[in-house]
Amino acid sequence: MSAEHPYSFFASVEKSFDKAALFTKWDTGILEQIKACNSIYSMRFPIKRDNGTIEVMEAYRVQHSQHKLPCKGGIRFSEAVNQDEVMALASLMTYKCAIVNVPFGGGKGGIKINPRNYSVYELEKITRRYTSELVKKNFIGPGIDVPAPDYGTGEREMAWIVDTYASLKPGDIDAAGCVTGKPITQGGVRGRKEATGLGVFFGLREVCNMPDVMKRQGLTLGVEGKTVVVQGLGNVGYHSAKFFREHGAKVVALAEFEGAIYDPAGLNEEAVFQHRKATGSILNFPGATNLAKSSDALELECDILIPAALENVINGENAPRVKAKIIGEAANGPCTPEADEVFIKKGILCVPDMYLNAGGVTVSYFEWLKNLSHVRYGRMEKRFTENLNTHILSQIEELSGKKVSDKERLAIMHGPEEVDLVHSGLEETMITATREIMEIWLTNPEIPDMRTAAYVSAINKVGTCYAELGIFP
């Protein structure tokens, strides 16, 4: 915390960690080690702008934990980037990976810029220079630290990173594994782009399928018919909205920083996205009501509220006005510990970020494995499975004397494509993690909320790893 940054995100993470640590058996030394950020690289480098002026960039990479390698976590481009924020986000990555059994330590990077104020050429120079700074200090590599997209970055930036890394490491056959979230042509995996939003959907769907939990929240079972509000129409918000809509939920409001729109009949995220692209604003979408203040959307009546933008948007001040029955944290750190206390009192179920938005890093793990194995998922078994299924089906038809419909035939024969395997691996991961955390929470009546249960799960997994590694001589 500082005068410039009165809210400390890292302190918030520490606070939630300490609250959960009380429910674990680890001694304070191990807890301190789990909590600490192991390596912090703060850098400054110059960039020549298109107009000829020189600008000094402020950038970071934090490796929170190396209990498993490589470290893993995105790189964000945002004006709000500071060391405290990157430390908090790196810590969340450690806990996130532990919960979903992705064998990585936590890391995060950030560059303090608003990408909208830079040309594509300038952004490329900044990204490439940042990558070479990481290479110089051994802060990037398939076995060291593997960045990914985050707020303000995407496939394009990841392509620049892998290209810069590969050119500085000639002959490194695993160079593609130095970063994830790449375009398919650069070693990306099918299904990565929508992964975080799809993971948010899978996680919340599992919660909505739990009869006891739904009963307690006063909601009917299942996703269908639920009203949803999504804050943020970036990659994560867009895909969260898309999967909820496709599965029968009604997305009644969408918010962006210029304002929000509301339509009780339900919004189509793609149509809103195109409207925003064409007009430069989410407001004035045909048939919807404008909400001038974006944050008003957080206070709308709905079943599920999905903050999918930045941290600290629901805090002690506005939490009392939140009317949602469930909050699904698609962003990292959208609700503060003060908001958590309010939710406990009001009976709002907050499904925490550090596992709910783990879909991104889970599929990043699949991408990294693909890069190291140098083969596309499904390549070896797709045809084999199809031939086998065709054979089984023809035997059944012959023996029974009946034929299945063409639609069923296609579904039965279908051998897995890369995207099928990635989606099913993600579905399995999110369902398992949801059940594990719920089990911890519901079998320990003193644990006050699901976030604390998630932290307990993470602390136990990282703690066991440190203890069994015998890292403490």
- Residue numbers annotated as active site: 108
* Segment holding 33, helix H or strand E: helix 28-35
Task: Tell me whether residue 180 or residue 294 sits nearer to ligand GLU (CB atom).
Answer: 180
**Size, binding site for ligand GLU by CB under 6 A:** 11
Residues 6+ apart with CB under 8 A from 28: none
Binding marks (x or -) toward ligand GLU, 373..412, rule CB under 6 A?
----------------------------------------
Q: Is 58 helix (H, G, I), strand (E, B) or coil?
A: strand
Task: Tell me whether residue 85 or residue 150 sits nearer to ligand GLU (CB atom).
Answer: 150
Q: Which of residues 320-379 bind ligand GLU (CB under 6 A)?
A: 332, 357, 360-361, 364
Greatest Cα pair distance, the chain, in angstroms, is: 79
Please give the full DSSP string across 216-284, using - where no structure is assigned.
HHT--SSSTT-EEEEE--SHHHHHHHHHHHHTT-EEEEEEETTEEEE-TT---HHHHHHHHHHHSSSSS
Binding marks (x or -) toward ligand GLU, 98..137, rule CB under 6 A?
----------------------------------------
CA distances (Å), 256 to each of 118, 119, 305, 327, 337, in order? 21, 22, 14, 18, 24
CA distance linking residue 206 with residue 430, whole number of Å: 8
Task: Tell me whether residue 104 or residue 285 sits nearer to ligand GLU (CB atom).
Answer: 104
Tell the smallest beta-carbon distance from residue 28 to ligand GLU (Å): 28
- 94 in contact with ligand GLU (CB under 6 A): no
- 148 in contact with ligand GLU (CB under 6 A): yes
Encoded tokens for 360: 């991104």
Task: Indicate which single residue of 67, 72, 129, 451 sits in contact with ligand GLU (rule: CB under 6 A).
Answer: 72
CA distance linking residue 338 with residue 133, whole number of Å: 38
Tell the smallest beta-carbon distance from residue 360 to ligand GLU (Å): 3
Which amino acid type is present at position 133? E
Task: Tell me whether residue 122 or residue 150 sits nearer to ligand GLU (CB atom).
Answer: 150
Question: Cα 184 vs. chain centroid, distance in angstroms?
Answer: 19
Encoded tokens for 244: 């909820």
118-145 in b/e form (b: 16+ CB < 10 A) is: beeebbbbbbbbbbebbbeeebbbbebb
Q: Which of residues 229-288 bind ligand GLU (CB under 6 A)?
A: none
The residue length of the chain stands at 473
Task: Tell me whether residue 77 or residue 262 sits nearer to ligand GLU (CB atom).
Answer: 77
Binding marks (x or -) toward ligand GLU, 184..223, rule CB under 6 A?
----------------------------------------
Task: Indicate the pairing of strand 71-72 with strand 75-77.
Answer: unpaired
Task: Indicate which single residue of 12, 91, 164, 180 sits in contact with ligand GLU (rule: CB under 6 A).
Answer: 180
Only one of the segments 24-32, 68-76, 382-390, 440-448 lies at the binding site for ligand GLU (rule: CB under 6 A); that segment is 68-76
Only one of the segments 10-18, 26-34, 70-78, 338-346 lies at the binding site for ligand GLU (rule: CB under 6 A); that segment is 70-78
Q: Which residue is nearest to ligand GLU (CB)?
A: 74
Tell the smallest beta-carbon distance from residue 100 to ligand GLU (Å): 10
Task: Indicate which single residue of 74, 187, 191, 232 sits in contact with ligand GLU (rule: CB under 6 A).
Answer: 74
Tell the smallest beta-carbon distance from residue 361 to ligand GLU (Å): 4
Task: Indicate which single residue of 14, 67, 73, 371 sits in contact with ligand GLU (rule: CB under 6 A).
Answer: 73
Task: Tell me whether residue 183 or residue 448 sits nearer to ligand GLU (CB atom).
Answer: 183
DSSP state for residue 298 in the 8-state scheme: G
| Of 397, 382, 436, nearest in space to 101 by CA | 436
Which segments within 49-178 are labelled E, that is strand? Answer: 54-63, 71-72, 75-77, 105-111, 145-146
Encoded tokens for 434: 């949801």
Tell the smallest beta-carbon distance from residue 7 to ligand GLU (Å): 19
Task: Tell me whether residue 63 or residue 332 sits nearer to ligand GLU (CB atom).
Answer: 332
Tell the smallest beta-carbon distance from residue 65 to ligand GLU (Å): 14
Tell the smallest beta-carbon distance from residue 168 to ligand GLU (Å): 21
| Of 308, 310, 259, 315, nearest in space to 282 by CA | 259
Encoded tokens for 414: 């279908």
Task: Indicate which single residue of 150, 206, 263, 329 sits in contact with ligand GLU (rule: CB under 6 A).
Answer: 150
Task: Tell me whether residue 71 or residue 126 sits nearer to ligand GLU (CB atom).
Answer: 71
Task: Tell me whether residue 83 or residue 390 sits nearer to ligand GLU (CB atom).
Answer: 83
CB count within 10 Å of CB 425 equals 17
End-to-end CA distance of the chain: 34
Tell the smallest beta-carbon distance from residue 70 to ligand GLU (Å): 10
Tell the smallest beta-carbon distance from residue 150 to ligand GLU (Å): 4
- Binding residues for ligand GLU (CB under 6 A): 72-74, 148, 150, 180, 332, 357, 360-361, 364
